Structure formats: structure tokens, C-alpha cells
Amino acid sequence: MISTLLSRLQRGPDGAPAPRLAFGADYNPEQWPREVWEEDVRLMREAGVNIVSVAIFSWARIQPGPGTWDFAWLDEVMDLLHENGIGVDLATATASPPPWLTTAHPEILPVTDRGETVWPGARQHWRPTSPVFREHALRLVRELATRYAGHPALVAWHVNNELGCHNVYDYSDDAARAFREWLRARYTTLDALNHAWGTAFWSQRYSDWEQILPPRLAASHPNPTQQLDFKRFSSDALKDHLRAEREILRELTPGVPVTTNFMVMPGTKGMNYADWADEVDFVANDHYVVPRPQDRDELSFSANLTSGIAGGRPWFLMEHSTSAVNWQPVNLAKRPGELARDSLLHVAHGADAVCFFQWRQSAAGAEKYHSAMVPHAGADSDLFRAVTALGGTLRALAPVAGAEREPAEVGILFDWESWWASEQDSHPTSLLDYHQEALDWYSALLALGIRADVVTTRSDLSRHRVLIAPVLHLVPAELAKDLTRYAEQGGHLVTTYFSGVVDENDHVWLGGYPGALRDLLGIRVEEFGPLPAGQTVELDDATTGGLWTDRITTTAPETEVLARYRTGVHAGRPAVTRRPTGGGSAAYVSTRLGVDGLTSLLPRLLAPAGVRSELPAEVRGLVEATVRRGPGGRFLFLVNRTDDPVTVPGTTGEVLVGSTGADGAVALGPRDVAVLRLPNS
Ligand code: GLA
Ligand code: GLA
């Protein structure tokens, strides 16, 4: 639990008692001479830092050769941090194998689908399934855990780093062997595998397990179920590595919570974090803003989904950036206010820790132009002053620590299996973007000032009056039953184009789309109508669709048509439908409406459920509101989504962050955040 970690943090230099929010960064002292360390801890105290992640990329320093160990420097770092009241999230240091290891054992290096070796020179050049790598990594973990078991600075373990960031897909012979084992466990018999993979197609029938390979470069589209299973397997292989390290840590340091940093972001779909969540003692996430339309909505979505993965419990923001990163085509500095706003937006969605990559900006190496808490310019900088101010803000928010998110009436279902399956090749369109569609619905709800929880199939879906499941493409029979029960028991389900199309084997549900949800939705589609890039269709409710259309026939007398196509080949036919069920309903949106179209449609989808904005009308869309509830009270976060000042009238409560006018209105400057403890809570 994150509460275990927070309670292990010492009182800060300010004497503020635990529980408190954690604040800190990755700290890489091995990149700096000893005298800099003294300045580091002094500045950490000045900024209010109470936790740092250490030794993430220190393998070569800790173990300079197969049989040699150098802990002296790390002992000193741990002691120094402890003396200064700073807790350590200690990494297991396995993320970047040292040159001596890859030279002695090149067989640990990953292989691409084209058979190319991924050479050392960067980081994470290891096969998740390599027994040789595993042996060396676990030996290191054992040494570290034994040495620091009783160290007072140790507050948590940080397994590896961003598992799968660069090595999620490995097509080596080790991977092939492990894939076969995974498939045997899943299918037991070759007949079952042949059925699931549909190997009657293109003469792919296997007569021996040894014939099975990862989906390496092939002459044409590799078998879709083979691809889907390889994605599942690859996520599981990394999860297995996480478990292997964690078991040693639990054995040697029981009571010290173990985590690893997830990357809940659009570009990192390989790891099914909903499925990993139970493997860690608390969920930790890394997030970086990629400048583009909806960028802060995406930040909010990521934080919200991380909370969903964590079951609504508080989680740990392990990394984000104080300003620019180094890995985009153009790396933009954050504008004034964005450092604090971005951090607090994570806190608004349940983060009990705000940490950055990294403490001190590197002078050398591939990340020397990546921002940090202490920039190249040094502590006499606007950036460090903003960092220190944020430390103060987080101290003021100490009562929030431990608060869970208060469930919203609307849920958005985000499902890795559908993400993977809907974007495979040889589909009706290659333009479909699962994450973007989900984000569009989220942005539309933000525009309407309506709170929503992003949840996974492991969440209790019945908590939400409205459940939006965009592109829920892969629907096993059990999920179809759950969703039907949900709607029949009063829930309002909303789904979209290309949903309910395949089962867990990626086999089409026959008899007309959206097969698994056809009866529930009271519609039938005989043929898909994807649109060429840039082509749109008009609907009769004045919205515009893109990407996709369906030729819909309503099949139940009670199915209502909420909007029809006005142009295109389906002109006059239904585009948006809703079937009332016993107390609830099931709606279908057959085209991609985008944020504006969804903002205009949503009120009609939400009305039967009685869902409305909780915000005063004049600030809807301008302000994002979240609520956290815990031992310290009930907290309202108000985030200004705009670059203009916004005044939120009619709010009462104790102001923890921000300011209120004489009339009790909360005044938010551009990109500002206010936090209030609500009365009677
Ligand atoms: C990831 C890694 C860090 C660093 C940052 C840079 O989050 O975990 O080591 O590379 O990216 O943005
Ligand atoms: C070719 C092949 C067929 C089939 C079609 C699909 O014609 O011979 O087997 O793959 O392409 O368009």
C-alpha cells in the first residue's frame, strides 16, 4: 500500500507530520563528483523533497565485473539521504545490463521481428525471457536487498524501470521457446490452438508445438490470433520478470512495499497494466506530455486511468518532467504555471506522490537536454524556484494523502484487449485509433463539465449510471453477458463502431455485427463502411462523422434512432441508436464524431440517466473538477483548463491551495489549480 510508503517517510525539514504527499525525483548521483552530493541534499531540503529513486541505471557501477561489487558509494548516498530526512525508493538496478555481461552473454540481447540483434549502447537491451539475463538480474536484486534490508532510508523498492519501454517485443529463440510454453498453458492441446488461431486458413495447421514461432517478418499478414497472443504473451513475460524480482524482495525485506513504474500513455500499449496492477504493492506511473491538441486532456485521462488501474486507491506519480523532454522532434519548454498545473492534475486524480525525471539535469549522455528539478542553469533559476514553490504547495496538501477518488456517475471503459485487437493489420481501416476515440469521449465530457472515471474490465462497472465503451472490439461471451446485465439492471451503456465484433480468439461473432452486442443494442449491420482519410458524412443532428460508417438496420421495435446520416451512401439510415432495456439502455454511435460532435451528442445520451454537470454553468468546459475523499476529509480540485483567468462562483470550503474572493468565489489564474476541503466531511 502507498500508505505504508508514506508512513515510512520521515518528517520533512519543515517538521510537517506524516502522512504527507511524497515529492522528489530520480536521483543519479553517480553522474556527479562527491561534492555535488552535498549541494544536492541541501537543495532537496530547500525544495521540500522527501523521496528520491536511486540506482535505476547503476548496475555497471554496483557490479563492475561478474564477481566484483562496489557498494561503498551507494552506502554513502543512502546514509546522506537519510541524514537529511529523505526516503529512498531504491531501484533494483536491472534496467540496463553492463557491457561485461552483454559481452560475455550476447545471447541476452533482444532480436527484432526481422532477426536483427538489438545491440548494447543505450539501455534495456535484454530479452524478457532470457534465463541467463534472469539469473544475473536476480543475483543483483538479492545482493541489493540483502545489503539494504535494514537501511533506514529504504522506503520502497523500484523494480527495474519502465518494464517494456524499449524491449516489450523480442522475437529471439528464447522468446520462441517461452511463447510455446505460454501457449501450452493457455490451450493445453494443439487442436485447441489450431482452432483458436484459425489455422485452416492459408495452410497454417501445426502438427507439433516446436513448429510454432513468434510472428516474425512474414511474406504477408501474419496470423491475427498469433499476433494477438504474442501481444498477450509479451506483456505476461515482462510481468513474470516483475514477479521474479518482487519475490526476492518480499523474501528479504518483508514490509517494504514493491512497485515498478508503469507508463500509461498512448504510445506504450504493449503492457496490459490493468492486468499488472495486482503484482505491485502500490501502482506507480510515469507520464510525459506530448504537445498536440488535447495534450492536457490526455494527461488527465492518463492520471484518471492510472487511478482506475489502482482501483481508485492513491497511486504514485514516479516520473514526469519539470519542462522539456529530449525525445520529441521539437522539445518545448513548459510555460509558466504548467509545471505546477501538470503536477496537481495528477494529484487531482489520486496521485499521492509527485516525482520527476530527474533531480539534476545531466551534463553528459543522451538525456542532457531533458529538463530536471535543478537545471543546467543551477538553483538560481525560475525553474528551481517553481520547483520549490510546488514543494510548498504539496506540503499544504498533506491532508489529501490517502484520499481515494470519489466515484463519478460516468465511466469510460478502457480495455487493452480491445486496444490490441482493434488496431491489428488486415482490418477494414488502418486509420482507427483506439486510444484517440476514448480520449475524444473524455474530452467531450470535460467540455461539458461532467466528471468521468476511466475504468478497466476489472473495475466494478455497476458503479456508474452511464458506461461508455468506445471501440469495444473484442468481447468474450462473458463480457457480453456482463454488459447485458448492466443495461438490464438500469445501467446506460454507450458503445461505438467496430465494437462487439470478435471473441477472445479474434474470431468474428457471426450473424451480423456487432455480433456480441447485437441483441442488446437492437441493431444489425451487414457490412462495414469505413471512410477514406479526410472524407466525412453529415448527420441530421448537425454533427459530422469521419473514419467509419455502418449500414444499420434496427431489429427491435423499441430501438430509437437518435440521429440519421444526412449524406453519404447511408443517407436516411440510422447513425446513432438507443435501445431502452429494463430500466437502462444501450446506445450505439456508428461513426467517429470527434470531440465537438460528441460534446453535442452526449447530453442526449446522458439525459435518460439523469447525469448533469456538477459545475456552475458559466465555468463548464473551462474548469475540470475532481473529488477525492479520505481520512483527511473530502477535497475538491478545480483545474483551469484555459489560458485565461476563470472565476468559479458558489464554492464553499477551506481553501488549501488557491484563493477566494470576498463572495466565496474561487479565482483561478491561467492554468491555475485550486483545492478546497469541503465542509461537513
Ligand atoms: C523515462 C525513463 C527515464 C527517462 C525519461 C525521460 O521515463 O524512465 O529514465 O529516460 O523517460 O523522459
Ligand atoms: C489474392 C490471393 C487470394 C486472396 C486475395 C485477397 O488474389 O490469391 O488468396 O488473398 O488476394 O484480395
pLDDT per position as a tens digit, 452-495: 999 999 999 999 999 999 999 999 999 999 999 999 999 999 99
CA distance 290 to 332: 9
Return the residue whose CA atom lies nearest to atom 8 of ligand 1. Answer: 162
Tell me which amino acid residue 151 is: H
Q: Is 327 annotated as a binding residue?
A: yes
Q: Is 319 a catalytic residue?
A: yes
Task: Provide the pLDDT confidence category of residue 8 given band limits of 50, 70 and 90.
Answer: confident
Ligand nearest to the CA of 203: 2
Find, among 5, 146, 15, the residue nearest to 88 by Cα.
Answer: 5
Whose CA is closest to atom 3 on ligand 1?
Answer: 357
Mutation to probe ligand 1, out of 286, 320, 328, 370 (largest number of atoms < 8 A from CB):
286
Residue 382 and residue 628: Cα distance in Å, rounded? 31
Sign of CA dihedral 618, 624, 629, 630: negative
| Active-site option among 38, 39, 279, 319 | 319
Beta-carbon contacts of residue 549 (< 8 Å; ≥ 6 apart): 497, 529, 530, 531, 537, 565, 568, 569, 570, 575, 590, 591
Window from 202-206, 291-295, 436-440, 562-566 with minimum mean pLDDT: 291-295
- Angle (CA) 105-110-116 rounded to 5° is 110
Ligand at minimal distance from the CA of 219 is 2
Q: Average per-residue pLDDT in the chain?
A: 96
Residue 422, SS3 per DSSP? helix
Q: Tens of pLDDT along 253-290?
A: 999 999 999 999 999 999 999 999 999 999 999 999 99
pLDDT value, residue 10: 62
pLDDT > 70 fraction of the chain, expressed in percent and rounded: 98
CA 149 to CA 55: how far, in whole Å? 15
Minimal-distance CA residue to ligand 1 atom 11? 357
Give the residue whose CA is nearest to atom 12 of ligand 1: 325
For residue 227, the CA-to-ligand 2 centroid distance in Å is 20
Q: Quick one: CA torsion of 524, 526, 531, 532, rounded to 10 degrees?
A: 160
For a pocket test of ligand 1, which of 31, 59, 158, 162 has the largest count of ligand atoms closer than 8 A to its C-beta? Answer: 162
Domain 621-678 in this protein, CATH class: mainly beta
Nearest atom within ligand 1 for CA of residue 286: 7
What's the gap in Å between 473 CA and the centre of ligand 1?
32
Quick one: pLDDT at residue 469? 98
Q: Give the number of whichever ligand sits closest to the CA of residue 163.
A: 1
Q: How far is the CA of 416 from the centre of ligand 2 (A)?
A: 31
Residue 6 has what pLDDT? 79
Counting from 1 in the atom list of ligand 1, the atom nearest the Cα of 325 is 12
What atom of ligand 1 comes closest to residue 321's alpha carbon?
12
Mutate to test the pocket of ligand 1, among 319, 360, 361 (most ligand atoms within 8 A of CB): 319
Q: Which atom of ligand 1 is nearest to the CA of 57?
A: 9
The 10s digit of each residue's pLDDT in 71-109 is 999 999 999 999 999 999 999 999 999 999 999 999 999
Q: Which is the closest atom of ligand 1 to the Cα of 288? A: 12
In the numeric block, the cell 543546467 is attached to 376
Q: Is the pLDDT of residue 419 over 70?
A: yes
Rounded Cα–Cα distance for residues 63 and 539 (Å): 65
- The residue nearest atom 9 of ligand 1, judged by CA position, is 357
Helix/strand/coil for 564? strand
pLDDT tens for 432-451 read 999 999 999 999 999 999 99
- The three-class DSSP label of residue 546 is strand
**Domain definitions of the chain by residue range:** 2-169+237-397, 410-609, 621-678
- Selection from 96, 49, 91 nearest residue 74 by Cα: 91
pLDDT band per the 50, 70, 90 thresholds, residue 18: low
> Distance from the CA of 320 to the center of ligand 1, in angstroms?
8
Whether 145 contacts 86, CB under 8 Å: no
Read off the pLDDT of each residue in 418-442 and give the average, rounded to a whole number. 98
User: Which ligand places an atom closest to the C-alpha of 160?
Assistant: 1
Question: 46 is written with which cell numbers?
Answer: 530547500
Say whether pLDDT at 12 is over 50.
Answer: no
- 34-47 and 382-396 helices cross at what angle (nearest 10)? 50
Q: How far is residue 181's CA from residue 223's CA, in Å, rounded to a whole number?
A: 19
Written as one string, the DSSP assignment of 153-192 is TEEEEE-SSSTTTTTS---SHHHHHHHHHHHHHHHSSHHH
How is domain 2-169+237-397 classified at the CATH fold level? TIM Barrel (3.20.20)
pLDDT for the residue 1: 73
pLDDT in tens, 563-615: 999 999 999 999 999 999 989 999 999 999 999 999 999 999 999 999 999 99
Taken in order 191, 194, 199, 204, the sign of the CA dihedral is negative
Please report which helix (H) or strand (E) contains residue 232, including its range: helix 224-252
Going by pLDDT thresholds of 50, 70 and 90, the confidence category of residue 3 is confident
Across residues 340-354, what is the average pLDDT? 98
Give the ligand at the shortest distance from the Cα of 220: 2
Out of 46, 116, 135, 162, the active site residue is: 162
| Nearest residue by C-alpha to atom 5 in ligand 1 | 357
Q: Which atom of ligand 1 is nearest to the CA of 162?
A: 8
For residue 401, give the DSSP letter: T
- Model confidence over 405-417: pLDDT tens digits? 999 999 999 999 9
| Residue 327 clears pLDDT 50, i.e. is over it | yes
Helix/strand/coil for 312: coil
CATH fold match for the domains 2-169+237-397 and 410-609: no
CA of 422 to the centre of ligand 2 (A): 22
Distance 529 CA to ligand 2 centre (A): 21
pLDDT of residue 9: 80
The rounded Å distance from CA 165 to ligand 1 centre is 9
**Is 161 one of the annotated binding-site residues?**
yes
CA torsion 388-392-394-398 (nearest 10°) is: 150
- For the chain, helix (H) and strand (E) counts, in that order, are 18, 28
Write down the pLDDT at residue 476.
98
Average pLDDT for residues 21-49, to the nearest whole number?
98
Indicate which ligand has the atom closest to the C-alpha of 263.
1
pTM (2 d.p.): 0.97
**What CATH number does domain 410-609 carry, 3.30.300.20, 3.40.50.880, 3.20.20.140, 1.10.3720.10?**
3.40.50.880
| C-alpha 418 – ligand 1 centre gap (Å) | 27
Please report the atom of ligand 1 found closest to the CA of residue 263.
Answer: 7
pLDDT tens column, 147-178: 999 999 999 999 999 999 999 999 999 999 99
**What angle separates helix 434-447 from helix 295-309, to the nearest 10 degrees?**
100
Residue 27 pLDDT more than 50?
Answer: yes
**Rounded Cα–Cα distance for residues 261 and 159 (Å):** 8
357 Cα: distance to centroid of ligand 1 (angstroms): 6
C-alpha grid cell, residue 406: 470519489
Ligand 2 centroid to Cα of residue 200, in Å, is 16
Question: Per-residue confidence at 652, pLDDT binned at 50, 70, 90?
Answer: confident
| Residue ID of nearest Cα to ligand 1 atom 2 | 162
Residues in contact with ligand 1 by the CB-under-6-Å rule are 161-162, 286, 288, 319, 325, 357, 367, 370
pLDDT in tens, 513-561: 999 999 999 999 999 999 999 999 999 999 999 999 999 999 999 999 9
